[in-house]
């Protein structure tokens, strides 16, 4: 069996908007979600801004923030797909959810209590809330999904890994529907870590700019509902895009330094599986963190795969607006790709000021663009050299 797989539902929680419509409107207008951090005191750090979701509250005491973000995005994707919760057919409805930090805020709360007053001060109710597997447990429990349930903690490429896994389960007939989700809450640990690596920009994220100074830590969740094409047509569902294939690679070289060769390998694998030629690609959603090394290596990889036409491909980084949402990043970026394919609009790379000869691409600087998008690639890379690329195509395009 090799069924065609389509995306019929989208849900997103982000610093620029909650829900696909608010998110997309802000994205194409180039609005920034970066603001002063207020979830903890940053006075001892050299940077003080990030992509927090300000108007989101955790309602269930049995959920950590990452689970709450994931459940909210999943509910929106199910509703957007027109699925009635009581008619989901739970036995063959699966879930793949990606994360970097898991429920890091819960772990931070436990750690704080332990350091301050000793281990007896730890609220025992927190203990079962923080292992990374609870993200899958909580989403499945909320919607009574009884199919295959996987948490893929593949760091900042996790969202793409989940889409690829969900794609495989559906096309080989092992699931009727799949939620592919990425989720991470704003983490003090990540903020400290990236500050220690001198990887956070002091004021703004400037992907592909010659004077880029780093990334911004963010948070959020993105959920995509995938199902077989014939099932979507049978129930007259709206189709955002068709998933054609994906490619994975591992540099197996360095924990934090990206490698152009490895990124290129993932892109090449995705094109081969999708039966897509380099000249067929209209848009690439870049990993585009805004760090000097990442952007240079990613551009080098793109030039390797697209030597003849890389300058004619629109390539933008929405992290310039959202910050880096860790395990949610490539899920939210996949949603952006689906909406670009559906609406023929490409979101911009904001904060772009000075061209860089190493990044001589069309980065759609500062303003969104109306342009035909039949094929979009979603790039993602992660610590440890894990790379993933997913290919989306406009349904019905030749």
Among left, alpha and beta (phi > 0; psi -120 to 50; other), residue 112 is: alpha
Please check whether residue 199 lies inside any domain of the structure: yes
Domain assignment of residue 167, yes or no: yes
Question: Phi and psi (nearest 5°) for 391?
Answer: -110, 125
Strands 375-382 and 283-285: parallel
Tell me the average confidence (pLDDT) per consecutive run of 10 residues in the chain, 398 residues long: 94 98 98 96 94 91 91 97 82 94 77 75 72 91 95 95 98 96 93 91 97 97 98 96 98 89 98 97 98 97 97 98 97 98 98 98 98 98 95 89
**Quick check: is 78 in a domain?**
yes
SS3 311: helix
Answer yes or no: 324 catalytic: yes
Contact yes or no for 70/183 (Cβ under 8 A): yes
Q: Would you call 156 a catalytic residue per the annotation?
A: yes
Half-sphere exposure at residue 258, Cβ-oriented, CA atoms within 13 angstroms = 28
What pLDDT sits at residue 232? 97
d(CA 25, CA 4): 29
pLDDT at position 102: 83
Give the per-residue pLDDT at 398: 65
Domain with 191, as residue range(s), is: 5-393
Residue at token pair 């992509």: 51
Q: Which of 154, 156, 162, 359 is catalytic?
A: 156
The answer to whether residue 398 sits within a structural domain is no
The answer to whether the predicted template modeling score (pTM) of the entire model surpasses 0.85 is: yes
Which stretches does DSSP call E strand in the chain?
Answer: 5-14, 17-18, 35-36, 49-50, 93-98, 149-152, 177-184, 220-228, 241-250, 283-285, 314-316, 345-346, 369-370, 375-382, 386-393
Structurally, the chain folds into a number of domains equal to: 1
Is 129 inside any structural domain? yes
Of 215, 231, 239, 391, the residue nearest 293 (C-alpha): 215
Please tell me the predicted confidence (pLDDT) of residue 297: 97
Domain presence at residue 226: yes
The one catalytic residue in 154, 205, 287, 359 is 287
Which member of 154, 205, 299, 324 is catalytic?
324
- State the CATH number of the domain containing residue 104: 3.40.47.10
Residue 85 lies in a domain: yes
Question: Does residue 244 lie within any of the structural domains?
Answer: yes
């Amino acid at each position: 069996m090799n069924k065609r797989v389509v995306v019929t539902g989208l849900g997103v929680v982000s610093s620029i908007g909650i829900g696909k419509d608010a998110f997309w409107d802000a994205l194409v207008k180039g609005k920034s979600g970066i603001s002063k951090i207020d979830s903890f005191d940053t006075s001892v750090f050299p940077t003080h801004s990030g992509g927090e979701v300000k108007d989101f509250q955790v309602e269930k005491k049995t959920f950590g923030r990452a689970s709450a973000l994931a459940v909210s995005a999943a509910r929106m994707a199910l509703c957007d797909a027109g699925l009635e919760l009581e008619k989901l057919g739970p036995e063959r409805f699966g879930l793949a959810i990606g994360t970097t930090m898991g429920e890091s805020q819960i772990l931070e709360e436990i750690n704080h209590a332990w350091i301050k007053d000793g281990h007896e001060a730890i609220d025992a109710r927190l203990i079962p809330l923080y292992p990374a597997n609870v993200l899958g447990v909580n989403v499945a429990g909320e919607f009574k999904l009884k199919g295959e349930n996987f948490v893929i903690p593949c760091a900042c490429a996790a969202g793409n890994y989940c889409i690829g896994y969900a794609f495989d389960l559906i096309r080989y007939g092992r699931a009727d529907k799949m939620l592919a989700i990425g989720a991470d809450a704003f983490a003090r640990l990540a903020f400290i870590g990236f500050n220690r690596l001198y990887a956070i920009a002091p004021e703004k994220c400037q992907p592909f700019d010659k004077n880029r100074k780093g990334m911004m830590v963010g948070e959020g969740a993105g959920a995509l509902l995938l199902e077989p094409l014939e099932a979507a047509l049978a129930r007259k569902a709206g189709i955002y895009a068709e998933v054609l294939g994906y490619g994975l690679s591992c540099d197996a070289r360095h924990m934090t330094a990206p490698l152009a060769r490895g990124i290129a390998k993932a892109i090449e694998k995705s094109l081969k599986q999708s039966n897509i030629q380099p000249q067929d690609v209209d848009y690439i959603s870049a990993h585009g963190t805004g760090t000097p090394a990442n952007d240079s290596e990613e551009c080098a990889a793109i030039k390797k795969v697209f030597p003849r036409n890389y300058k004619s491909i629109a390539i933008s980084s929405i992290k310039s607006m959202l910050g880096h949402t860790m395990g949610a990043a490539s899920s939210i970026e996949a949603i952006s790709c689906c909406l670009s394919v559906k609406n023929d609009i490409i979101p911009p790379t904001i904060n772009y000021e000075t061209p860089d000869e190493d990044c001589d691409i069309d980065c759609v600087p500062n303003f969104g663009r109306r342009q035909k998008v039949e094929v979009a690639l979603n790039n993602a890379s992660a610590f440890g050299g894990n790379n993933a690329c997913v290919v989306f195509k406009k349904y019905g395009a030749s």
